[in-house]
Amino acid sequence: MLLRRVIPCLDVADGRVVKGVRFVDLTDEGDPPELAARYAAEGADEICFLDITAAPEGRGTILDVVERTARRVFVPITVGGGVRTPAEMRDVLRAGADKVAVNTAAVRDPELLKRCATRFGRQCVVISIDARSDPARPGAWEVVVQGGRTPTGLDAVAWAQRASRMGAGEVLLTSIDRDGTQSGFDLELLRAVVAAVDVPVVASGGAGTPEDMVAALAEGNADAVLAASIFHRGIHSIASVKAAIAAAGVPVRIVDGAA
Amino acid sequence: MAEARPVRLAVVDYGAGNLVSIRNALTLIGAETVVARGAAGLVGADAIVVPGVGASAPAMNRLRRQGLVEPIWAAVAAGTWYVGICLGLQLLFERSDEDGARMLGLLRGSVSRIPDAPRLPHIGWNQLELVKPRHPVVAGIADGSPAYFVHSYVPVPEDPDVVVARTEHGGTFASLVAHDRLIGFQFHPERSGRDGLRLLSDTVGLIAAGPPGVSASVAGHTADARV
């Protein structure tokens, strides 16, 4: 039986983790590979790096981060942020990433998904979608890009469907309304996208408690849940979230001896 | 026991996915890896490791273009181990329903889409049901251990006896096969955490122990596949 995944997300800028993290005994608490290794040991099913490096000259640093992480972390690594071309995707994959998420570039040029899928296989192409409630259309969601700042007029559910048909093998769906609020995932959005696509959907945006994670999986039908601050702030560990998921009867990978 | 030299593994680079993770994992467990882009790279290897993701036909074309198909047959016939991961496992079989590719044909059977799968690709952690729990490759892991999968197609062996573990995703499929010196993982042991590293380390241990002569039956398959 396919197990549901719990994925910690690390925001990386200029090769360093930028959000607050809880591991106090680290030699270097801002070093992404060190943190990724900690999360993997705790039972993370996958590690997600989101490259939020602002300056173009800092872009190459994510490759070094991925390379160093892949040497010591033996769970899948997904990288998102700033990838615009198949050549850039190739570089990230060669550094040791398993999947690459594209967002703004795919909205501008949906054919990018097809080109990447043809070249690398759809299993490593993730369409990252930032969606927010559309004030003009109650019960519908609009795609926003550039870190949630720019509206596109695209319907999020229709875009998820189109992107998966173009070649994306997975959807990383972030509710911009909920992101950072810790008020729970947008289950309606999640259900609508899961029903519209036949590829796995990762829920993101709004995780505040283990119960939120359980709801995204059990009620939202997500294949995986992704979260940042709930783990970084040390309120909940990966292991405790997974224990709650298992207790709710949702199949999940339990790692023996995880803290 | 005498100090053994490290097992030498030729990891085949034929442009079907990167080799970083598998080399990192094999290095961690103490094996020596070399990257093989052509026949010369296979010389002196205890095992040929064929990783890879994607479709069979382009992969076979690249193996042919790099002049690797016949050297792989010859090496296997001479007793070299073959360790296939994901696409590398699928290439062991005769043909693919995905694109009609004719493959290495070292094992009888085909490759087809996972039957009755709720969602494809099959991405994520799924469980290994050990059909042969005493097989040396899986002896170190528990029945039901999770492994990381990323694929849509699966092997359909003609001989059920080659199946060491199976996995359910809608339909049930062979997720780990072994026959003589051929070993294939449909999942990614190099991405399957502690259990995955254990599988790789027990595989390398098996190769190091090198149980005797099995090349004759493998050679038989090879000869048939060439027709």
> Cα–Cα distance between B156 and B159 in angstroms, integer?
9
Q: What integer is the mean pLDDT of B25-51?
A: 96
Interface contact flag, B53 A123, Cβ < 8 Å: yes
The pair phi, psi for residue B10, each rounded to 5°, is: -95, 110
The dihedral sign for the CA sequence A64, A70, A73, A78: positive
A23-44 burial, b for 16+ CB within 10 Å, e for fewer?
Answer: eeeeeebebbbbbbbbbbbbbb
* Chain B positions in Cβ-Cβ contact with residue A224 (cut-off 8 Å): 124
ipTM of the modeled complex = 0.89
pLDDT exceeds cutoff 90 at B226: no
Tell whether A144 lies on the interface with B, counting CB pairs under 8 A.
no
Give the per-residue pLDDT at A20: 54
> Cα–Cα distance between A47 and A69 in angstroms, integer?
10
- Closest of A189, A72, A207, A81 to residue A142, by C-alpha: A189
pLDDT exceeds cutoff 80 at B54: no
More confident residue, B64 or B212: B64
A166 CA to chain B: closest CA distance, Å? 14
pLDDT truncated to tens, each residue of chain A (259 aa)? 899 999 999 999 888 888 655 555 665 668 899 999 999 999 999 999 999 886 777 778 899 999 999 999 999 999 998 899 999 999 999 899 999 999 999 999 999 999 999 888 888 899 999 999 998 899 999 999 987 889 999 999 999 999 999 999 999 999 999 998 889 999 999 999 999 999 999 999 999 999 999 999 999 999 999 998 888 878 899 999 999 999 999 999 998 766 4
* Chain A positions in Cβ-Cβ contact with residue B191 (cut-off 8 Å): 74-76, 98
Tell whether B29 lies on the interface with A, counting CB pairs under 8 A.
no
Give the per-residue pLDDT at A28: 63
Question: A5-247 architecture in CATH?
Answer: Alpha-Beta Barrel (3.20)
Alpha-carbon distances of B27 from A75, B65, B215, rounded to whole Å: 16, 28, 27
Q: Residue with structure tokens 């296939």?
A: B84
More confident residue, B17 or A216: A216
B188 is catalytic: yes
A11 is catalytic: yes
Identify the helix (H) or strand (E) that includes residue A154: strand A150-155
DSSP A160-173: HHHHHHHT-SEEEE
- When the pLDDT of each residue in chain B is averaged and rounded to a whole number, the result is 90
Give the per-residue pLDDT at B8: 95
Give the per-residue pLDDT at B78: 96
Give the per-residue pLDDT at A29: 64
pLDDT exceeds cutoff 50 at B142: yes
More confident residue, A135 or B131: B131
Residue A156 near residue A196 (C-beta atoms within 8 A): no
Give the per-residue pLDDT at B202: 97
Give the per-residue pLDDT at A26: 60
Interface contact flag, B54 A121, Cβ < 8 Å: yes
Each residue's pLDDT tens digit, B160-197:
999 999 999 999 999 999 999 999 999 999 999 999 99
User: Where residue B211 falls among pLDDT bands split at 50, 70, 90?
Assistant: low
User: Where residue B212 falls among pLDDT bands split at 50, 70, 90?
Assistant: very low
**Where along chain A do its domains lie?**
5-247
**Where along chain B do its domains lie?**
8-226
Q: Which chain A residues in 160-189 lie under 8 Å from chain B, judged by CB atoms?
A: 169-170
What's the CATH code, domain B8-226? 3.40.50.880
A1 CA to chain B: closest CA distance, Å? 5
Residue B18: closest C-alpha in chain A? A94
Between CA A246 and CA A250, with CA A249 as vertex, the angle to 5 degrees is 70
The minimal CB distance from A3 to the residues B25, B146, B151 is found for: B146
Q: What integer is the mean pLDDT of B71-83?
A: 97
Give the per-residue pLDDT at B220: 41
- Best of B53, B123, B187, B197 to substitute, by most chain A Cβ atoms within 10 angstroms, is B123
DSSP chain B: -PPPPPPEEEEE-SSSS--HHHHHHHHHTT-EEEEESSGGGGTT-SEEEE---S-HHHHHHHHHHTT-HHHHHHHHHTT-EEEEETHHHHTTSSEETTT--B---SSSEEEEEPTT-SSSSEEEEEEEEESSTTSTTTTTS-TTEEEEEEESEEEEESSGGGEEEEEEESEEEEEEEEETTEEEESS-GGGSHHHHHHHHHHHHHHHHH--S--HHHHHHHHHHHH-
A256 is catalytic: no
> Cα–Cα distance between A78 and B223 in angstroms, integer?
42
